Amino acid sequence: MNSAFFLVLRRMRAPIIVLIAIYAIAVAGLTLVPGVDAEGQPAPPLSFFHAFYFISYTATTIGFGEIPAAFSDGQRLWVTVCIYLTVLGWSYSVVTLIALLQDKGFQSTLTVNRFRRRVRRLKEPFYLICGCGETGNLIARTFDRAGQAFVVVENNEMRVDELDLQDFKTDIPALAADARQPETLLRSGLCHPRIRGVLAVTNDEQVNLAIAIAVRLLNPDIPVVARARSPGVAANMASFGTDHIINPFERFADHLALAVAAPERFRLIELLTSLPESPLPEVHRPPAGRWIVCGYGRFGRAVGNRLREAGIALTIIDPASPDASPDIGGDGTEANTLLAAGIAEATGIIAGTDNDVNNLSIAMTARELNPRLFIVARQNHNANGGLFTAFAADFTMVPSHIVAQESVAILTTPLLARFLALLRSGDEARCGELALRLEDACGVRTPAVWSVRLNISDAPAAWRHLMRDGSFTLADVLRDGTDRSTRLPVVVLLVDRAGDLIVLPDDEFALAAGDELLLAGRHRARRNLDFTLDNANELDYVLDGREDSGTWFGRWLAARGSGGQRPA
Amino acid sequence: MNLEKVIFGFFILLAATLNFGFFIGDIAKPELHNVYELFAALVVSLIATALKFGDRTQIGAVHLSTSLVADLQLIAAAVTWAMAVHVTGVGMTPHVTSSVVSLSGGALFANIVSVVLLIAETLMLRR
C-alpha cells in the first residue's frame, strides 16, 4: 500500500504545486480588484473567504452563481484570466494522474501489493506452487478440486493471466515474478505461519534448485518437493536435504521396470498415487524379452538402465548416441530402420525422443510392422494428449503427470509415503488383491487417498466416544450415514498408533483415540465419513442405529420403544 | 420418519407461532394482546427448551441457548404483567402493555432464530 501511495505523491508533486500556485494567484488577485455595489458605486474587493469560495467552484467548472452581488468590470477581467489559468492547472494534474495509472511500473506495484495482502490474510493451510506450466497447472487443479488452498508464483505473465480464465472454484492468489529471488518467495508466504510446503516444479531445474536452497535456508521446517531433470542437479538438491526430488524420467523408468518385474504391485502403486478421481488407468503388462529403444537421451538412458536391471535385452536406435547399435542408421521413424533393429522378434518398443511427432511416427510404424508389440510412447507436451489418446499406446509417459501425481500424493498425505515404502516388501498376490479391493470401492475412477487422525480437532465426535464410551471397530464405523446397513466403499490402508504401523487392518480392528488412519476411496465416501466422525448424533446412528440425538426426551422415547428406533 | 424430530419440530414452530400471535397488533392496546396467548407461548417455549436438554452436537447447543433466551424474555414479560395487574395495581396501561409486548417481541426474535436453526439442521440431515 505504502509504496504505491508514495509513488502517487511523488509523481503528482509538480501538478499539485502548479495548482496551488494558480489558486494562490487567482484568489489573491480577486481580493485586490475593487467591486461594485447595486447602485454602481465602487465597493471593497472580495474578502479571502469569498474569493476562495468563488475560485473553488469556478476552477472546478462547477459554476455556481451563488455570490449575489454582480462583479465590477475589473473583477470580470481578472476572473476571465483565472478561468483559463485554473482549467490549465487542473488538466495538467488530471493528465498526469491518468498517465500514472496507465504506467506499467505503477500497475505492477499495485498487483504485487494486492497479492501480498491476500497471501498475508490466508487463514487456512496452503501450499506454494512455484511454476505454473503443465505440471503446476495440474497440481493446482488437483488442489482446487480437493478444496486445498494454494498460492502460485510463475515467471511468465501470460500464464498467470490465463489462470484467471480457467474455471477454478476459488480465486487463486497468483504472482508473475521470478521465483529465484528470495524476495519473491517471501512475498508469496514462505514464512507465513500457515504454509505447509513448497513445490518447485518450474521447467528450469536450476530455478528449482534455487528455490529448494532458499526454502531450506529461510524456512527449514517445511517440506520442499523439487523437480529435477539431470542426476547432477538431483544430487545437488539431495545434498542439502530437499525432502523429495522428482525426476520424471527416472520415476517413469522405475515404474516401467516395476511393471515388468511385479505388475500387481505396480498396479497398486499406480492406483494409489494417481490424481484422485481421474479415470482409472488401464492395466499395463509389459512383457520381458527384447526391447527396442528409440531415442537414447536422458529419458532413454534412464529407462534403459532400469530395464536392463529387470533382465531385458535392449536394441538402441539413436543417431546421436555413441551407445547405439552402430549398424543401424536413422532415428526409427522409417520402417527399414526398425526392421534392421529386428522389430519382428522384439517384444516391446519405446518411442522416447523429445519430439512428440517423431514418437507418434515411430509408434505407428512399429505397430504396423509388428502388431503384437508392447508400445511405450513418451508424450512431451500436454497439448498433444488428444493425439496420444487416439493412438492408444500400451503405456504413455507424460512427464508433467508423473511429477504432479507424485508431489500431490507425497505432500498431502505423508502417511502414504510410509505405506508405499512398506509395500516394497509386499508379495504380488496381496498387492493384486488390494488393487482389486480398491477398484471395487471406487468404480471407474481412481481413489482419493487421505488420512484422518482421531483427535479432538479432526474428529471430535469419534474422539469423545473413544475416550468416554470405549472402542469401536472399523466395521462399526465404516458405514454409510444415510443407511447404516450399507458399508462405506472405503479401504483402510494403514493405521498409525503412536508410531506403530498396522498395515491393512481387518474389519475387527478396534480403534483407539489418537490413531491416524490412511484411507482410500471416493471423495463422496470421504465426506460421508468425515461427517460421521465429526457429529456425535451421526456417530451414534452409524455405530448402533440410535436416532435419538442424545436428548433426555429422545432417550426416554427410545426406551419406551415407541418409535425412536423405527427405520427410515 | 423420526418421531423425536417430529415432536421437536412441532414444539419449536408452535412456540414461534404463538409468540407471533401474541406480539402482533398495536403495541399499546391491551385488548389486542390476550394474556392466555402469552401463557401458552411461555409453556410451549419451556417444553421446547426441555426437549433439547442433553444434545451433544454444536447445533443442538445453540438451539438450547436460543430457546433459553426466548424463555427468559417471555418470563420477564409475564412477571411485568403480573406486577402491574396484581402487585402494584396499575393495571394494563399503555405503558405496561407496551413493555410486555416488546419483551415478547424479543422472544419472537429468538424463536425465529430457533426456526432457522431447525431448518439448517434438517438440511444437514442425511436420513
Helix (H) or strand (E) holding A539: helix A536-544
For residue A566, name the pLDDT band (cuts at 50, 70, 90): very low
Q: What is the mean pLDDT of residues A183-196?
A: 91
Q: Give pLDDT tens digits for A27-51.
A: 999 999 998 888 888 888 888 888 9
Taking CB atoms and an 8 Å cutoff, what residues of chain B touch A486? none
Measured in angstroms, the CA of A551 and the nearest CA of chain B are apart by: 4
* Cross-chain residue pair B53–A553, CB shorter than 8 Å: yes
For residue A568, name the pLDDT band (cuts at 50, 70, 90): very low
* Residue given cell 525432502 in the structure block: A243
**What b/e sequence results for A406-445 when a residue is b if at least 16 CB atoms lie within 10 Å of its CB, and e otherwise?**
bbbbbbbbbbbbebbeebeebeeeebbebbeebbebbeee
Out of A538, A551, A562, the one facing B53 most closely (by C-beta) is: A551
Centre a 10 Å sphere on the Cβ of residue A568 and count the other Cβ atoms it contains.
9
A2-6, A10-14, A87-91, A349-353: the lowest-pLDDT one: A2-6
Find the chain B residues whose C-beta atoms sit closer than 8 A to any C-beta of A: 1-5, 7-8, 50-57, 60, 126-127
| Cα–Cα distance list, A421 to A84, A117, A316 (Å) | 82, 41, 33
Q: Give pLDDT tens digits for B28-84.
A: 898 899 899 999 999 999 999 988 888 888 888 899 999 999 999 999 999 999 999
pLDDT over 60 (residue A20): yes
Taking CB atoms and an 8 Å cutoff, what residues of chain A touch B1? 566, 568
Residue A562's pLDDT is: 52
The secondary structure of A137-161, three-state, reads HHHHHHHHHHCCEEEEEECCHHHHH
Residue A12's pLDDT is: 85
* Cross-chain residue pair A554–B4, CB shorter than 8 Å: yes
For residue A564, name the pLDDT band (cuts at 50, 70, 90): very low
A268-282, A326-340, A444-458: the lowest-pLDDT one: A326-340
Whether A250 contacts chain B with CB within 8 A:
no
Measured in angstroms, the CA of A461 and the nearest CA of chain B are apart by: 9
Whether A536 contacts chain B with CB within 8 A:
yes
* Cross-chain residue pair A481–B55, CB shorter than 8 Å: no
Q: What is the mean pLDDT of residues A319-342?
A: 79
Average pLDDT, chain A: 87
Q: What percent of chain A has pLDDT over 90?
A: 24
Burial of A197 per CB tally in 10 Å (0-12, 13-18, 19+): buried
What residue spans of A383-510 are helical by DSSP H?
A: 385-391, 399-412, 414-423, 428-442, 460-468, 474-477
Q: Give pLDDT tens digits for A513-548.
A: 999 999 999 888 998 999 999 988 889 888 988 877
| Number of domains forming the structure of chain B | 1
Q: What is the mean pLDDT of residues A434-447?
A: 88
pLDDT over 60 (residue A437): yes
Cα A227 vs. chain centroid, distance in angstroms?
15
Contact A423, A268 (CB under 8 A): yes
Residue A316's pLDDT is: 87
Q: What are the two backbone dihedrals, phi and then psi, of residue A479, each rounded to the nearest 5 degrees?
A: -125, 155
Residue A68's pLDDT is: 65
Picking from B123, B120, B10, B127, the residue whose alpha carbon sits closest to that of residue B59 is B120
Could you tell me which residues come within 8 angstroms of residue A530 by beta carbon, excluding any fewer than 6 positions away? Answer: A452
Q: Give pLDDT tens digits for B8-36.
A: 999 999 999 999 999 999 998 988 998 99
Residue of B nearest to A541 (CA): B127
Taking CB atoms and an 8 Å cutoff, what residues of chain B touch A568? 1-2, 127
Taking CB atoms and an 8 Å cutoff, what residues of chain A touch B120? none
Measured in angstroms, the CA of A554 and the nearest CA of chain B are apart by: 6
Could you tell me which residues come within 8 angstroms of residue A457 by beta carbon, excluding any fewer than 6 positions away? Answer: none
Q: Give pLDDT tens digits for A115-146.
A: 999 999 999 999 999 998 888 988 998 888 88
For residue B118, name the pLDDT band (cuts at 50, 70, 90): very high
pLDDT over 60 (residue A567): no
Residue of A nearest to B127 (CA): A482
pLDDT over 90 (residue A251): no
Test the B interface: residue of A465, A549, A560 with most B CBs within 10 Å: A549
* Cross-chain residue pair B126–A538, CB shorter than 8 Å: yes
State which residues form the domain around B59: 3-124
pLDDT over 70 (residue A292): yes
For residue A398, name the pLDDT band (cuts at 50, 70, 90): confident
* Cross-chain residue pair B3–A564, CB shorter than 8 Å: yes
For residue A2, name the pLDDT band (cuts at 50, 70, 90): low
Q: What percent of chain A has pLDDT over 70?
A: 98
Burial of A24 per CB tally in 10 Å (0-12, 13-18, 19+): exposed
Task: Scan residues 469-498 of A and list those with Cβ closer than 8 Å to B.
Answer: 481-483
* Cross-chain residue pair B54–A537, CB shorter than 8 Å: no
Distance CA A289, CA A344 (A): 13
For residue A60, name the pLDDT band (cuts at 50, 70, 90): confident
* Cross-chain residue pair A566–B1, CB shorter than 8 Å: yes
* Cross-chain residue pair B54–A481, CB shorter than 8 Å: no
Output A9 or A522, whichever has higher pLDDT: A522
Residue A129's pLDDT is: 94
Output B56 or B105, whichever has higher pLDDT: B105
Taking CB atoms and an 8 Å cutoff, what residues of chain A touch B126? 481-482, 528, 531, 538
